[in-house]
Structure 1
Amino acid sequence: MSYHVDMYIRVIRRKNKNGSVTGYVQLAHNYRDPQTGQPKAKVLYTFGREDEMDLEALRRLAQSIHRFVGDEFTSGRGQSEAIQTTLLDSRPMGGAYLLDELWRQLELDEVLRERLVDRKFKAAVERVIFAMVANRALAPSSKLAMEEWVEREVALPGMTELDVWQAYRAMDVLHDVTEELQYEVFRRVSNLLNLDVDLLFFDTTSTYFETEDEPEDGLRRKGYSKDHRPDLPQVVIGLAVTRDGIPVRCWTWPGNTADMSVVEEVKQGLIGWRLGRVITVVDRGFVSESNLRILQRAGGHYIAGEKMNSGKSAVEVALARPGRFRELRPNLKVKEVVVGDGEARVRYVLAFNPEEAKRDEARREAMLRELRMELERLKELQGEAHTKAHCRLASHPTFKRYLKQDRWGNLRIDPEAVRQAAHLDGKYLIRTSDDTLSTEDVALGYKQLLMVESAFRTLKTTLDIRPMYHRKDERIRSHVLLCWLALLLVRIAEVQTGRSWPDIRSHMQAMHQVTKSTPDGIVVQRTETTEVQWEILRALRITEPPRILRMEPRTRGL
């Protein structure tokens, strides 16, 4: 049985200036561009606007064609009985196809198979792992819900069904090969994308578990929650990200782990990858003298945010040092300050954002208005109620820095504290150990730390890493690793296309795998590639999937 179409009717849609959409009906055929090798559509004839089409004229044309080829035309349906089909199934395939092609470009399928060659499994573990990664990127769900997702809701390359226990066993295998896998991923991603890896950004976040009065154990611990859920046990997750926003390594620690305590482990892990000269960019939460010394080991350097209210003498000197700011960008001015001499020498870059200064001033004024109202209410209280309210204000995490006591013990707003806070509006202080970096590289390098924050937002929103329901430490680490692999594919797609993942996913999921029953057998084909889908695939250097995916000829009796 053969299936070939030279010409076809298509509808293209154009968005008008007023936001409405107009469809145009065209007769077209596909040809392969001799320069790019990519299939393109050539318009042979435009029938006109979709809403103004003369359908009867089309039917007469179809009837004329059928008479010419000798088929009987069925009026009203525009089909001959010989090619009449029944639609059996239709499900999204474009998103999974794109992810699978990126997976294979990175050779992740080969990496996993090489590490599983000595293990005997009935299921294709590499395909199960890919299915879980694709699920995080396309339609995040529990491992149990994935059974129905794979069977009914998506067309996954090389997989038509999944058992939840296969998923759990695959997660256990993934945990066993974590270190090797992360190194191989980094090596292959660096080669594929020609990544600049001399500047790595590092930060941590936390993600929580939904539990019902279950005891804390293993990785599941209560700690400082960046999700504002201190009532729930959590884990701490670390990410190392390139300047392009590509996550190249992840870590998982117990939920009560402090940021300060992980720097040495992170540095040792990256030294093992033989990266050469690496400048690590970290936020203020990681800055201690011991951590900074760790980051300088083996020829490494750092760019680190410095707490401006830390009380360090060097910081006070850097903030008080006079000098003119130099404008790098409309909202970024910098000046370099060197404090001390010899081994005690510290290089700082003081950055100033005028727009952020206005926002800081507005936030402080709103806070002071609230504080004044609290002080007025305090005057109206007596006895124990006054004492409790007084202590609450004096220890308030935000208000206390602007308060002082007069000689009678009454709380007052401290004008000097307000003045000092205003002096820091829109400013942030950066410290670096590398004298070869320009002030611009230091300031913009630190600003790019937002790439890690963006990666964490994607993990928590698009990929739904939280909440987690796993109990075993191995499964928790594997869950984080699956989300990291999904984030890796998502960020590669975003960087190379210049589109957000939700936009890419929306367009690609419109490509469906359609199963039809015909008098000659079963035909599985995909919908036509749209212009946007073609642009996305071209940017990722991915070829279009074949139009006919599978054919099963019907067995006829002799």
Structure 2
Amino acid sequence: MYVKTTSRKTKNGTAVRYLHLAHNEWDPVAGRSVPKILHSFGREDQLDRTAITRLVASLSKLLDPAEALAATTAPGLAFLESRPYGGTYALDQIWRRLGIDQILIQLLQGRRGRPRDVSAERVLFALVANRALAPSSKLAAADWISNDAHIDGLAATSDDACYRAMDWLHDVRERLEAEIYNQVANQLNLEVDLLFFDTTSTYFELDEADEPIARDEHGLPVSPPASASASASASASDGDGDGDGEQDRAGFRTYGKSKDSRDDLPQIVIGMAVTRSGIPVRVWSWPGNTSDSALIRQVKDDMRDWTLSKIVWVADRGFASAANRRYPRRGDHHYIIGEKLRSDSPEITTALSRQGRYADITANMRIKEVKVSEHERFVICHNPEAAARDAHVREQLITQLRELIDGSDTLSVIKRAELRGKISARPALNRYLRTTPGGRLRINARAINAEANLDGKYLLRCSDPHLPAADIAVGYKQLLQVERGWRDMKSIIDLRPVYHRREERIRAHVILCWLALLLVRIIENTVGDTWVSIRRHLNRLQIGTFHGPAGRFRQRTEPTKVHRDLLTKLGIAAPQQIIELAALS
């Protein structure tokens, strides 16, 4: 049984084709097979293709799936491979919606060594997508782009192309950050009245730190190389990156106070500014020994030229020094900074001892404003649930300490001193221990009462005289957004390990991670789900590659309801069914 075609001429002489369902029967008179028409489908140009589709589907039910596929597949068609497509497609659509592709093309236009096409922009997007979907080194990223992912407009790339793109990214990073901020602020109507700033560090598994080089007040290498007199002056500086305009000398990967508890390895310091909705608007990189005051100064100077309204900077207790508080107040900016409760500062002691009633602002937070200074305000925040948790932990510590010192009066002086030294190495227990004039170990009841007074509390310092106390407390609580950003940067985006050696490529790697986090956070805020869950669903939308006698084509799998819902929330149209079609030459 087969489809037979016949031709007839109309009155005006035009040939018209007709389609028939036929099969061959043996004609004993003629001694050969002759076709017999079973059904006529009519003129080819008037064919009811919907009815044909229903007929084929109905007949396919009579076959098992393998036979049905073989019967409806063109002869010689081969299925070559399948790659995840939904993740790169969604990221690319957000990338283009924010206009980052056009920003990069304009910034890279006419640069020496740049190809005439847009491959540099495509390579940079592919590297950003790699950080969000399958973080790896640049060597592995090139292989991932070429063999494991489908990037529209980039069939394949090489490790050299990736490194060249990173070098271009480093050259244009300052203008890129400003352009992206303006574009993102306009697209998302960002509220930047509260800008959260925090730093982290990432270490390098090296035997030695980088050689010190001359640097400016922002920690950037001085180019051209400093003169002999300038080098001598830089060598005489303290090298902490806080030279008030004088050049310091420091390697980029150098030793400092690590936030990863790896003080034995060289590191760099990374800072990030985040809006109250968690959108990262800018990122910085400094040598590993840069001081806090130098960080604050550069961040304030860099953001000064952006089109921002009045900003209230929100930072954690690590930036609470007087020098750090003084610099943001230059101009029209103010700050909200967390303070250490266990401090010898007279202001903090006075604030904590001041009497007054708390006002409830949420179910698990109440606040009390304390007037101590003419220029600053203190807000004491109290969380009843955290207070109960702190009291429970303290009871466990005291019970453990009591078990350790029970019977210690019968020990010799040397043994008792050894026990005292062992407890002193455990700060959580040592806080509640006191030693009598006779050298006996006792529970410190005064320390217990002092700690009980701090249960569930944290203290905030603010320089803005008009900001309501409730907004101060809620604003500081939103600092969790930047902490979440660091967690995602290190776990999902995989900021560490860094496989690069040259400073400019390390800085470019940080920019790539920032761009990936920017796209991820926009998608999360829009969808209302975590990126881990969204990524898992999107990657199930695949693209298959087929090769046949006429050429090669790529076709996506059919989107599920989950895919359609995700794309609808993101405002993205479903990808075309046929992604690519290339005829044989």
Query: What residue number does 1:174 align with?
Result: 169
Aligned pair partner of 1:158 in 144, 153, 156: 153
Q: Deviations over 1:69-103 (max 9, x none)?
A: xxxx9993355366354211110111111111111
Q: What amino acid sits opposite 1:281 in the alignment?
A: V
Query: What residue number does 1:61 align with?
Result: 58
Q: Deviations over 1:381-411 (max 9, x none)?
A: 6465654443453464333332322111334
Aligned pair partner of 1:241 in 255, 264, 274: 274
Per the TM alignment, residue 229 of structure 1 is displaced from its structure 2 partner at its CA by 2.3
Query: What residue number does 1:77 align with?
Result: 68
Aligned pair partner of 1:297 in 322, 330, 348: 330
Please list, as runs of the form range in 1=range in 2, the aligned pairs for 1:204-283 lying within 5 A after superposition: 204-211=199-206, 213-217=207-211, 218-283=251-316
Distance 1:370-1:133 versus aligned 2 partners, 3 A rule: same
Q: Deviations over 1:18-63 (max 9, x none)?
A: xxxxxxxxxxxxxxxxxxxxxxxxxx9xxxxxxxxxxxx9998225
Correspondence 1:439 to 2:469: yes
Q: What amino acid sits opposite 2:442 in the alignment?
A: R
Query: What residue number does 1:400 align with?
Result: 430
Per the TM alignment, residue 536 of structure 1 is displaced from its structure 2 partner at its CA by 1.8
More displaced stretch, 215-224 vs 296-305: 215-224
Contact 1:59 1:78 in 2 (8 A): no
Query: What residue number does 1:316 align with?
Result: 349
Correspondence 1:190 to 2:185: yes
Per the TM alignment, residue 165 of structure 1 is displaced from its structure 2 partner at its CA by 1.7
Contact 1:332 1:353 in 2 (8 A): yes
Q: What amino acid sits opposite 1:121 in the alignment?
A: R
Query: What residue number does 1:97 align with?
Result: 89
Correspondence 1:523 to 2:558: no
Q: Matches of 1:75 and 1:354 in 2, distance apart? A: 64
Contact 1:357 1:427 in 2 (8 A): yes
Correspondence 1:456 to 2:486: yes
Distance 1:121-1:401 versus aligned 2 partners, 3 A rule: same
Q: 1:273 is paired with a residue of what secondary structure?
A: coil
Q: What amino acid sits opposite 1:166 in the alignment?
A: A
Q: Deviations over 1:343-377 (max 9, x none)?
A: x3431111111111111112222222333334348
Contact 1:240 1:247 in 2 (8 A): yes
Contact 1:281 1:304 in 2 (8 A): yes
Query: What residue number does 2:114 align with?
Result: 121
Correspondence 1:358 to 2:393: no
Superposition CA RMSD, Å:
2.6
Aligned pair partner of 2:138 in 133, 136, 143: 143
Q: Matches of 2:65 and 2:534 in 1, distance apart? A: 40
Q: Which has the larger radius of gyration?
A: 2
Contact 1:348 1:430 in 2 (8 A): yes
Aligned pair partner of 2:318 in 285, 289, 301: 285
Q: Matches of 1:82 and 1:508 in 2, distance apart? A: 28
Q: What amino acid sits opposite 1:295 in the alignment?
A: P
Per the TM alignment, residue 552 of structure 1 is displaced from its structure 2 partner at its CA by 2.6
Contact 2:375 2:463 in 1 (8 A): no
Q: Deviations over 1:466-514 (max 9, x none)?
A: 1222222111111111101100110011111111111111111111111
Q: 1:334 is paired with a residue of what secondary structure?
A: strand
Q: 1:145 is paired with a residue of what secondary structure?
A: helix
Q: Matches of 2:584 and 2:164 in 1, distance apart? A: 38
Q: What amino acid sits opposite 2:107 in the alignment?
A: R
Q: Could you tell me the TM-score, scaled by structure 1's length?
A: 0.82
Q: What amino acid sits opposite 2:493 in the alignment?
A: L
Q: Matches of 1:240 and 1:367 in 2, distance apart? A: 38
Contiguous gaps of at least 5 residues in structure 2? 1-49, 212-250
Q: Matches of 1:160 and 1:380 in 2, distance apart? A: 78
Q: Matches of 1:464 and 1:205 in 2, distance apart? A: 14
Per the TM alignment, residue 154 of structure 1 is displaced from its structure 2 partner at its CA by 0.6
Contact 2:209 2:255 in 1 (8 A): no
Distance 1:508-1:415 versus aligned 2 partners, 3 A rule: same
Correspondence 1:534 to 2:529: no
**What count of residue pairs does the alignment treat as equivalent?**
490
Per the TM alignment, residue 105 of structure 1 is displaced from its structure 2 partner at its CA by 1.3
More displaced stretch, 482-491 vs 159-168: 159-168
Query: What residue number does 1:27 align with?
Result: none
Query: What residue number does 1:543 align with?
Result: 573
Contact 1:93 1:512 in 2 (8 A): yes
Q: Matches of 1:450 and 1:214 in 2, distance apart? A: 34
Per the TM alignment, residue 554 of structure 1 is displaced from its structure 2 partner at its CA by 4.8
Q: What amino acid sits opposite 1:521 in the alignment?
A: G
Q: 2:449 is paired with a residue of what secondary structure?
A: helix
Query: What residue number does 1:421 align with?
Result: 451
More displaced stretch, 521-530 vs 151-160: 521-530
Contact 2:408 2:440 in 1 (8 A): no
Query: What residue number does 2:508 align with?
Result: 478
Q: What amino acid sits opposite 1:361 in the alignment?
A: A
